[in-house]
Amino acid sequence: MFIPHTDSEREEMLKTIGAPSIESLFEGVPVKHRFPQLNLPPALSEMEVAAQLQELSQINESTRDLVCFLGAGAYNHYIPAAVDAILRRGEFYTAYTPYQPEVSQGTLQAIFEFQSLVANLTGMDVSNASHYDGATATAEAAVLAYHHFRGKRTRFIVSPAVNPQYRQVMRTYMDGYENLQVIGDGEPGDPLGAFEALTRMLDANTAMVVVQYPDFFGRVQDLSDLAAKVHAAGAILTVVINPTALALFKSPGEMGADIAVGEGQPLGIPLSYGGPYLGIFAAKKDYVRKIAGRLIGETVDQQGKRGYVLTLTAREQHIRREKATSNICTNQGLIALAATAYMSLLGKHGLRQVAELCYHKAHFLAEQINRIPGFSVDLTQPFFHEFIVKCPAPVGEINEYLLDNGILGGYDLSQDYPSLQTHMLLAVTEMNTREEIDLLCEVLKEYAND
């Protein structure tokens, strides 16, 4: 199978080593604890394991079995077949981190192109080679801000309209630092995170303000005034983005943000029950030397031929050890490659088309739902991908009804926002057909009439 040795080869090797047996190589291990008998199921052949996993996977009801209107940070988009054809190349997926650039130009150039695409999409000067996911990229932005002000500014203002899981991860990361204050998203308060409420908290001690665009509730708001106010206080504005939305809406860079982070999953990455995904991290050039994680730079070889290398590595853990600001060693290499392939395939026109389809379909569904007695949607503000529906009953009950009808309903906002009882977050992508939208409305009408 995966161990190629024949018995005679093993014996020859042991003879060269001068060891009587394989067991004898482990004499340094305390006898008492050596060779424990592991209690694991018996080994399966490839054929059996393929069948077993097929069976396990079929216990699930996936977004292929159900009509999906669930988003809240992970989105059901179409992935062109060419993306996976590229990912399946062993030259890409069985390579290591490109420490040896002469034999890693494929990975290095692909990630350099990823950086270029992300910088252009976000309107930023630079992007890194990626972080683990949107949540950790957001946390790394906070760590950057902490170090940018050398720990002297300790207030971090976070909008409650930032993805709740991202806020949790950011708090975990910030827990390692003494005396930091993370405010802005506590109850009671405005769960929708009005910018005025956030800017009132700005002071000379504020390191960073974090907002999401479109926000967790799907709303798209102009960030220019907010950016100006944050800058007037000398602080950094970090914007959590949705990459698909940026094909249609102004970029955070254009509106004055300093750092753009976000989840790259919508860019051709399967839902895969939450991972592996792709943390986007882009910034204005002032911050380039403080960005955690890998950066790929262009250079030349001894003959003057263009090539790419990992650069600014002096910031990283293997050089700076305890003085490094992050312990990160990897990026999401292969997932960044998937996003690069997706953005290259869709290009300027395709990504805009996907974004417009998401926009129009979501607005159509919102208008239809708003007409169903008992349900209401705020149609006065523009939104993208998703929107809040005020429901006549607890969201859990409605979702059960929807599931009985083969529909994966929206996200129950009361889990994170006690003041948003009976509020559901519904998501729509280009994958949702008119028939699916009509079906959801029919079932909701039935529910309302019951």
Partner 1 sequence: MTEPTIYELSAPGRIGVRFPHPDVPLADLPKNLIREELPLPELSELDVIRHFMHLSHLNYSIDGGFYPLGSCTMKYNPKINEETARLPGFAFTHPLQPEETVQGNLALMYELQEYLKEISGFGAVTLQPAAGAQGEFTGVMIIRAYHKSRGDVKRTKMLVPDSAHGTNPATSGMTGFEVVPIPSDARGNVDIEALKAACDDSVAGLMLTNPNTLGLFEEQVVEVNRIVHQAGGLVYGDGANLNALLGIARPGDLGLDIMHINLHKTFSTPHGGGGPGSGPVAVTSELQEFLPGPVVILLEEGSEEIPPLFGFHQPEQSIGRVKAFNGHFGMVVRAYTYISMHGADGLRKISEYAVLNANYLLARLRNTYKVTFDRTCMHEFVVEGVWNDAPDVHALDISKRLMDYNFHPPTNYFPLIVREALMIEPTETESKQTLDRFADVMLKIAEEAHAQPELLQGAPHITPVGRLDEVKAAKELVLCCWLPDEVRS
Binders of partner 1 in range 181-200 (CB under 8 A) = none
Core vs surface per residue 326-341: b (16+ CB within 10 A) or e: bebeebbbbbbbbbbb
**Least distance to partner 1 from the beta carbon of 255, Å?**
9
Q: Pseudo-torsion of CA 426, 255, 190, 266, nearest 10°?
A: 30
Alpha-carbon distance 185 to 193, whole Å? 8
Longest dimension (CA), the chain: 84
Among 200, 231, 306, 371, binds partner 1 (CB under 8 A): 306
405 near partner 1 (CB under 8 A): no
Contact by Cβ (8 Å): 281, 141 = yes
Q: Which stretch binds partner 1 (CB under 8 A): 130-138, 153-161, 187-195, 227-235?
A: 130-138
Q: Closer to partner 1 at the Cβ: 168 or 421?
A: 168
45 near partner 1 (CB under 8 A): yes
Residue identified by tokens 């977004």 is 63
439 near partner 1 (CB under 8 A): no
Among 67, 98, 195, 242, binds partner 1 (CB under 8 A): 98
Tell me which residue of 205, 216, 319, 201 sits closest to 263, measured CA to CA: 216
269 phi and psi, to 5 degrees?
Answer: -110, 125
How many chain residues interact with partner 1 (CB under 8 A)? Answer: 204
User: Which residues is 389 bridged to in the sheet?
Assistant: 377, 424
Q: Closer to partner 1 at the Cβ: 150 or 305?
A: 305
72 near partner 1 (CB under 8 A): yes
Among 200, 299, 393, 421, binds partner 1 (CB under 8 A): 299
250 near partner 1 (CB under 8 A): yes
253 near partner 1 (CB under 8 A): no
419 near partner 1 (CB under 8 A): no
CA 289-276-174 angle, 5° bins:
50
Among 4, 7, 152, 204, binds partner 1 (CB under 8 A): 4
22 near partner 1 (CB under 8 A): yes
> Considering Cα of 391, then 395, then 401, then 405, what sign does the dihedral take?
positive
228 near partner 1 (CB under 8 A): no
The length of the chain is 450
**Least distance to partner 1 from the beta carbon of 266, Å?**
13
286 near partner 1 (CB under 8 A): no
Q: Pseudo-torsion of CA 353, 354, 357, 363, nearest 10°?
A: -120
Amino acid at 298: E
136 near partner 1 (CB under 8 A): yes
309 near partner 1 (CB under 8 A): yes
